[in-house]
Structure 1
Amino acid sequence: MTIILYHFIFLKLHYLNVQLKTLLKNSSHLFTYPHFHLYTEKISRFNPS
């Protein structure tokens, strides 16, 4: 019984991981890392806290 439960949890985690990876892949096309870095830099300039 516990083996089935662990297997189900593993599948669920794997599915979430795949979803996250595809989400990151899709967003990287629109919003690349260098742009993100510049964006955070701008925010930190506005907010010097």
Structure 2
Amino acid sequence: METNDLDADRAPMRASGGTVDGPHGRPCGRDGTFVDPDGNGVVLVTRESGD
């Protein structure tokens, strides 16, 4: 899933008990993964400006 604010979107996931990994710097932007309390995995991606 693409997001405009990776850091802000990670906060409620962590607060709700989800497992959060990242953010990780990548050549095209940053990403972070989380696993919700039901075991569903999601990757959040934010692109670098100008991409």
Rg comparison, structure with higher value: 1
Does the TM-score normalized on the shorter chain lie above 0.5? no
Q: Taking structure 1 as the reference length, what is the TM-score of the superposition?
A: 0.26
Richer in strand (by share): 2
Q: Taking structure 2 as the reference length, what is the TM-score of the superposition?
A: 0.26
Richer in helix (by share): 1
